């Protein structure tokens, strides 16, 4: 079976694209959203997939999470994911959050991998200084070896976002924008809120988190074979890395809303080859 991550940028699939701000507001106005409609065959297959992996195996996966990601980068080097040249197009906030045109922004790319988002962003916008971190020490080394890496514009470090305090590497309340792009889904749902608490420590008041990840019923979710299920909307790949599939309600009620990151607006869209096509339904929140 092909690794479902191969389809990140290459085929049509549903994903969740959100912007949140550290406003502290907890009142939201919500307008309709629905997940992708399953075919009868897809619905039947998901309904039958009820058997979860044993607790012993799940604990082993959690214990070996870093090793599995390090092995992933050992096997694939820097060749697996395509460079993400769509970041500024998808997240206009990277430009809109500036008070004046040439203002220098400080960003944090949480879960930077080998720099597929980081380096295109630094090339496109010369007025950005970036902090970048990843769970995998091997991935961090690949970033440092990249010819585009410069300590004048970037600081990269290894970090377990669920337990390593970001303020050990980044001053508190110093970051304008945090990106979480296909990162939170790889973390156990019970620990996701720890990541958000950690990020909030370094984010300036009123600034934003840019989030993009798998949405419920993404095509990648439907490719998992029986025996891969860890929990509701949570699966393991053959290489031991894991993936969670989000709903907007889950994010609003259980993570961002609970930690002072008030959603200002969000979009659910469909990724197509070389383009981003929003679905007809958009969801908006206002503080």
For the chain, percent helix, then strand, then coil, each to nearest 5? 35, 25, 40
Distance CA 209, CA 64 (A): 28
What pairs with residue 17 in β-bridges? 212, 267
Candidate CATH numbers 1.10.600.10, 3.40.50.300, 3.40.50.150, 3.30.420.40; the one for domain 4-24+38-284 = 3.40.50.150
Query: 15 vs 129, which has greater pLDDT?
Result: 129
Nearest to 170 by CA among 6, 161, 18, 114: 161
Distance CA 250, CA 214 (A): 13
- Mean pLDDT within 42-59: 91
| Segment (H or E) for 162 | none
**Strand blocks (E) in the chain:** 13-21, 105-110, 128-134, 154-158, 175-181, 203-214, 229-231, 234-236, 242-244, 262-272, 275-284
The answer to whether residue 213 scores a pLDDT higher than 60 is yes
Residue 267 has a pLDDT of 36
- Mean pLDDT within 169-197: 92
The answer to whether residue 163 scores a pLDDT higher than 70 is yes
- Mean pLDDT within 120-124: 89
Domain borders along the chain are 4-24+38-284
The answer to whether residue 202 scores a pLDDT higher than 60 is yes
- Mean pLDDT within 101-120: 90
Residue 112 has a pLDDT of 92
25: exposed, middle or buried (Cβ count in 10 Å: 0-12, 13-18, 19+): middle
In angstroms, the first-to-last Cα distance of the chain is: 44
Residue 19 has a pLDDT of 53
Residue 264 has a pLDDT of 42
The answer to whether residue 278 scores a pLDDT higher than 50 is no
Computed over every residue of the chain, the mean pLDDT equals 77
The answer to whether residue 116 scores a pLDDT higher than 80 is yes
Residue 33 has a pLDDT of 39
């Amino acid at each position: 079976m092909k690794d479902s991550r191969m389809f990140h940028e290459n085929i049509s699939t549903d994903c969740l694209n959100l912007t949140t701000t550290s406003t502290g507001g907890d009142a939201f106005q919500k307008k309709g959203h629905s997940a992708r409609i399953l075919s009868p065959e897809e619905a039947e297959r998901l309904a039958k997939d009820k058997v979860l992996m044993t607790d012993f195996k799940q604990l082993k996966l959690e214990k070996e999470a870093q090793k599995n990601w390090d092995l992933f980068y050992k096997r694939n080097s820097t060749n697996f994911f395509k460079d993400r040249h769509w970041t500024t197009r998808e997240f206009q906030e990277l430009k809109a959050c500036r008070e004046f045109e040439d203002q220098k922004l400080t960003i944090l790319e949480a879960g930077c991998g080998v720099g597929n988002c980081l380096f295109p962003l630094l090339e496109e916008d010369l007025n950005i200084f970036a902090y970048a971190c990843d769970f995998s020490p091997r991935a961090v080394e690949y970033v440092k070896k990249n010819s585009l890496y410069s300590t004048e514009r970037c600081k990269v470090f290894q970090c377990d976002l669920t337990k390593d305090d970001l303020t050990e590497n980044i001053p508190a309340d110093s970051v304008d924008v945090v990106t979480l792009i296909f990162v939170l889904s790889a973390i156990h749902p019970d620990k996701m809120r720890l990541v958000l608490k950690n990020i909030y420590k370094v984010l300036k008041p009123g600034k934003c988190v840019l989030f993009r990840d798998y949405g419920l019923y993404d095509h990648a979710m439907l490719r998992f074979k029986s025996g891969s299920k860890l929990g509701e909307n949570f699966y393991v790949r053959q290489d031991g890395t894991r993936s969670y599939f989000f709903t907007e309600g889950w994010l609003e009620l259980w993570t961002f809303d609970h930690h002072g990151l008030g959603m200002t607006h969000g979009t659910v869209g469909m990724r197509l080859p070389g383009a981003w096509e929003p679905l007809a339904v958009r969801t908006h929140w206002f503080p």
